Amino acid sequence: MTTQTSGQATDRTFTVVNPATAQAVTEVHLASVAETDEAIERAAAAFPAWRDVAPGERARLLRRFAAVVDDHVEELADLEVANAGHTRANARWEAGNVRDCLNYYSATPERLFGRQIPVPGGVDLTFHEPLGVVGIIVPWNFPMPIAAWGFAPALAAGNTVVLKPAELTPLTAIRLGELALEAGLPEHVLTVVPGQGSVVGERFVTHPLVRKIAFTGSTAVGKRIMAGCAEQVKKVTLELGGKSANIVFADADVAAAATSAPYAVFDNAGQDCCARSRILVERRAYDEFLGRLEPAVAALKVLDPAEESSEMGPLVSSGQRDVVRGYLDDVEVAFTGTDPGGPGFWVPPSVVLTEDPSAPIWREEVFGPVVAVMPFDDEAHAVELANDSEYGLSGSIFTSDLGRGLRVARAVEAGNLSVNSHASVRYWTPFGGYKQSGLGRELGPDAPHAFTEEKNVFIAH
């Protein structure tokens, strides 16, 4: 075992590094353009037979895949702890989320209904037909769930899938590809293609046999992918960055708001597109809120993620740690929690106070354990501050006035709001962003439609 400052790529291999220890874990082969083409062509060749699998049989295969994943939850969790530095509790939840997505969308094949629309002179029918090969490009922050949010509905709707994990975190995706085969999915129906974004990801975008890209990652890369897809009018969904607001009104249970706020931003060491990284507090409650926030941040268990009780682990790479430290170097940090130190990529949970809505720490996605707190004067001011962002992914509203909770939830320009809660992701409810946080929706009952074309057929009497 050698010590690495971060994952390192040569032309053909990538050294996966444990973020908690900076130790090398394993080497992963990086696919070339030629190997990517081969995977896409095999997926295209596998498509007609997969499309024609009887609905009940496709459903049964997806349920078997879910069952095999369930049998391997601990193994998958171990891989994610070692590869991404996720806490054990999170990693276990993430593997379980893959199983749950597969089970949920296993109900799709027999229920992918079209419509019969009244027309004169005949019968009009609609069909939801699969697209062919779908390319899924996944970031490193939630390698398992984000892959499954794409492949579960895509496969259920009858597509074949090529999946590119992030270079930093390929291990669970590779294992899921093996488990799919073990469960009996035909070869080349789900193909994992580890490699570089600029090689494998780009090829998904440019290859004409890939009919849709489901991309999750940074807004900068997402824009580039959308532009690339325009060349072939390729379908695309984008799940991008965020700078979500956690709005705390003075009439709220301020103690509950303050003690839950750290978990809403520091979970996964803040590497969460839904992180509530801006806290807005009504001025009357500001001092009380901060007084309760400080001990809550100090109490957060930032420990080796392999320990059962760990609530926050390291950042994914030395590069990401340096990005986050760069933000912290430019601001005054009001208070922090702890971190265990050592060779891993640690940054303690950090709280910054600001009254300047133009400050980079208030506007830019840090993607690390950093939260900015700002006071507001009234409801209109809170909504104005929350919406003064190019992002619009999620948000929370704490108030004891349910009318206000609903009013503000409707007024905030974001795809996923929670009132007196921070929960924003469930596999059976839609998820996605407003503005530059994304395009399209994932999860929920309609996700399979995003992997189909709607065909209209008229039959004359």
- Segment contacting ligand NAP by CB under 6 A, of 179-187, 213-221, 296-304, 340-348: 213-221
Beta strands in 3-94 (DSSP E): 8-9, 13-18, 23-29
The least distance separating ligand NAP from the CB of residue 351, rounded to whole angstroms, comes to: 20
Which residues in 221-240 contact ligand NAP (CB under 6 A)?
221, 224-225, 239-240
Which residues in 423-452 contact ligand NAP (CB under 6 A)?
433, 438
CA dihedral 342, 346, 349, 352 (to 10 degrees): 110
Rg of the chain's alpha carbons, rounded to an integer?
A: 23
- Segment contacting ligand NAP by CB under 6 A, of 85-93, 120-128, 216-224, 243-251: 216-224
- Whether residue 413 contacts residue 393, with contact meaning beta carbons closer than 8 Å, is answered with no
Q: Is 198 one of the binding residues for ligand NAP (CB under 6 A)?
A: yes
CB of 180 or CB of 238, closer to ligand NAP:
238
CB of 51 or CB of 224, closer to ligand NAP:
224
- CA 396 – CA 248 distance, rounded (Å): 8
> Which tokens is 397 given?
């509203």
The least distance separating ligand NAP from the CB of residue 369, rounded to whole angstroms, comes to: 14
Residues that bind ligand NAP (rule: CB under 6 A) add up to a total of: 31
Q: Is 365 one of the binding residues for ligand NAP (CB under 6 A)?
A: yes
The least distance separating ligand NAP from the CB of residue 71, rounded to whole angstroms, comes to: 27
- CA 435 – CA 99 distance, rounded (Å): 31
Q: Which residues are catalytic?
A: 239
| Binding residue for ligand NAP, selected from 39, 273, 352, 408, defined by CB under 6 A | 273
| Binding residue for ligand NAP, selected from 90, 141, 318, 416, defined by CB under 6 A | 141
Alpha carbon 311 to its chain's center = 19
- CA 77 – CA 71 distance, rounded (Å): 12
- CA 193 – CA 423 distance, rounded (Å): 32
- Whether residue 53 contacts residue 159, with contact meaning beta carbons closer than 8 Å, is answered with no
> Which tokens is 404 given?
């206000």
- CA 2 – CA 80 distance, rounded (Å): 20
The least distance separating ligand NAP from the CB of residue 283, rounded to whole angstroms, comes to: 30
The three-state secondary structure class of 453 is strand
Q: Is 167 one of the binding residues for ligand NAP (CB under 6 A)?
A: yes
CB neighbour class for 113 (10 Å; exposed up to 12, middle 13-18, buried from 19):
exposed
The least distance separating ligand NAP from the CB of residue 257, rounded to whole angstroms, comes to: 24
- Segment contacting ligand NAP by CB under 6 A, of 17-25, 159-167, 303-311, 324-332: 159-167
- CA 445 – CA 78 distance, rounded (Å): 31
Q: Is 137 one of the binding residues for ligand NAP (CB under 6 A)?
A: yes
Rounded to a whole number, what is the distance in angstroms from the first to the last CA of the chain? Answer: 74
- CA 444 – CA 55 distance, rounded (Å): 20
> Which tokens is 24 given?
């090398």
Q: Is 201 one of the binding residues for ligand NAP (CB under 6 A)?
A: yes
Q: Is 392 one of the binding residues for ligand NAP (CB under 6 A)?
A: no
Q: Is 202 one of the binding residues for ligand NAP (CB under 6 A)?
A: yes
Q: Is 80 one of the binding residues for ligand NAP (CB under 6 A)?
A: no
- Segment contacting ligand NAP by CB under 6 A, of 44-52, 107-115, 198-206, 410-418: 198-206
Give the interface with ligand NAP as residue ranges (CB under 6 A).
137-141, 146, 164, 166-167, 196-198, 201-202, 205, 216-218, 221, 224-225, 239-242, 273, 365, 367, 393, 433, 438
